[in-house]
Amino acid sequence: MDYHVFTKKIKNKKKPQFYYWFYDPITHKQIQKRCTDCVTRYDAEAFVRSLPALTNKSTKIKDIAKYMYIPGSLHVERRKSLGRSANLDTLYSARTHLNYLINTFGDEDIRTITVEKIFNKLVKDRHSSSWKNQVLGCLKELYEEASWNGIAVSMPIYPKFKYRQTKSDVFTPEELERLLSPHNFPDESSYMLFLLTASAGLRISEARGFRACQFLEDRQMIIVDGFMNRKNTQRNNYNKKGSADNPKWRVSIITQRCTKELADYISRAGRGDTDILFTYNGVSYRIEYLRTLFNRALKKAKIEKGDRKLTMHSLRYTYVTEMRTILDVDTVRKMVGHTTVEMTEYYTRSSLDTASSALLPFVSAVNQKLITEKE
């Protein structure tokens, strides 16, 4: 028997109160605690029978979490067996959220941590609802990991935070012209990255992983065939929602101005066809740094946000919005890579030449939209 019931006479209490004692398997100290809401000995004995079995393994959150989401760990191998992602980006993101739990509640006993304590802390945090829910997702796996470590504990029901995400707003043509000026950026590389992003409706991760071999200068187009992951450790040679087997590559028209400036930049950059084209100190830009440069450029261009949500992704929204005024929805969908079943065959390397040929009639129309020819 791990737990032992006894009674204790408490001052100002008519009847003895029920308690239990046990030896902590880690510190080997005797611990006494009260049997909550127990009126009879039968209640007290039933209460201690419901308690988790004692284990000599640490029940602190930081110790249980020590090897979680670490490549090669038993935890990651279990994730694979359960059909969960073991992608490095996924593991890195999950570990980031787990570190929040470790830094905030690391010394807490997982068996006694309360919903109120976790939830109240997250409520005060300034991160998004999506971020908070991802933390709760890691907490769920933390409870699972505790069980795998022989720690008997059940996970309480944690309420999810309501998503309040709003879509990015778009720039006016005049604002876009003011923003996309070399004077608003610290170097030509970052300026060209944002110019290409706006001119082709790219995702920022796609612009970060852009290579010279993707540029079809004679057709005023680019091939979008991959993106840079968040950690900058590798370039994925498939597009978002794609895979190695179904990469979902696509072709997109760019503006005449962007075509000319991109050709000039490539000739001066001195990089190989498969080298990352836009870099800072020899490596692909970090998203956090690009976000800082973007916000600085907004201020330099004197663009007032007001109630609008103007983010880097607004460049993509603006491209889609403007293209929809001159092109049909399916053509725009194909250029920006929005997934539909009908486009599966379109996103194969063998069809890229055909795809770019199909877009040629629209080039002149695109040149009259979005970003005008630079003086």
Q: What percent of the chain has pLDDT over 90?
A: 47
| pLDDT for residue 324 | 79
Average pLDDT of 174-183?
Answer: 94
- For residue 330, pLDDT over 80 is answered with no
Q: Please state the rounded mean pLDDT for residues 139-145.
A: 93
Residue 344: predicted pLDDT: 28
Q: What is the predicted pLDDT for the residue at 226?
A: 92
pTM score > 0.95 for this model? Answer: no
Using DSSP bridges, classify how beta strands 215-216 and 221-224 pair: parallel, antiparallel or unpaired: antiparallel
The pLDDT of residue 153 is 83
Give the pLDDT confidence score for residue 90 in this predicted structure: 86
Q: Which of 72-76, 318-322, 326-330 has the lowest mean pLDDT?
A: 326-330
pLDDT-derived band at 325 (thresholds 50, 70, 90) equals confident
At 350-372, the pLDDT tens digits run 345 666 676 777 777 777 766 55
User: Three-class SS of residue 306?
Assistant: coil
pLDDT of residue 339: 54
Mean pLDDT to the nearest integer, 219-241: 85
Of 9-23, 221-235, 321-335, which range is least confident? 321-335
Which residues face 222 on adjacent strands?
215, 252
**In the structure, what pLDDT confidence band is assigned to residue 164 with cuts at 50, 70 and 90?**
low
What's the chain's average pLDDT? 85
Stretch among 63-72, 128-137, 148-157, 339-348 having the lowest mean pLDDT: 339-348
**Residue carrying the six token digits 């877009």:** 359
As beta bridge partners, residue 60 has 109
Q: pLDDT tens digits for 305-317?
A: 888 888 998 898 8
pLDDT of 149: 84
pLDDT band at 294 (very low <50, low <70, confident <90, very high): very high
pLDDT of residue 58: 84
Quickly state the pLDDT bin for 128 (edges 50, 70, 90): confident
pLDDT digits (tens, 9 = 90+) for 6-32: 999 888 888 889 999 988 766 678 889
Alpha-carbon distance of 290 to 263, in angstroms, equals 22
Mean pLDDT, residues 111-121 taken together: 91
The answer for residues whose C-beta is within 8 angstroms of residue 350's C-beta and 6 or more apart is none
Question: What is the distance, to the nearest Å, from the Cα of residue 363 to the centroid of all Cα atoms in its chain?
Answer: 34
Q: What is the pLDDT of residue 192?
A: 97
- Could you read off the pLDDT of 85-114 as tens digits, one per residue? 888 878 988 999 999 999 999 999 998 899
pLDDT of residue 285: 92
Q: Is a pLDDT exceeding 60 seen at residue 224? A: yes
Has residue 241 got a pLDDT over 80? Answer: no
Higher per-residue pLDDT: 139 or 165: 139
157, pLDDT greater than 80? yes
H helix intervals, the chain? 41-49, 61-64, 74-81, 88-105, 115-124, 129-148, 173-179, 188-200, 204-208, 256-269, 287-300, 314-323, 329-336, 352-359, 363-367
Starting at the edge strand found earlier in the chain, the sheet holding 4-8 runs 4-8, 17-23, 30-34
Task: Tell which wins on pLDDT, 25 or 258.
Answer: 258
* pLDDT the model gives residue 267: 94
Tell me what pLDDT residue 279 has: 92
Query: Distance between CA atoms of 11 and 32, rounded to whole angstroms?
Result: 18
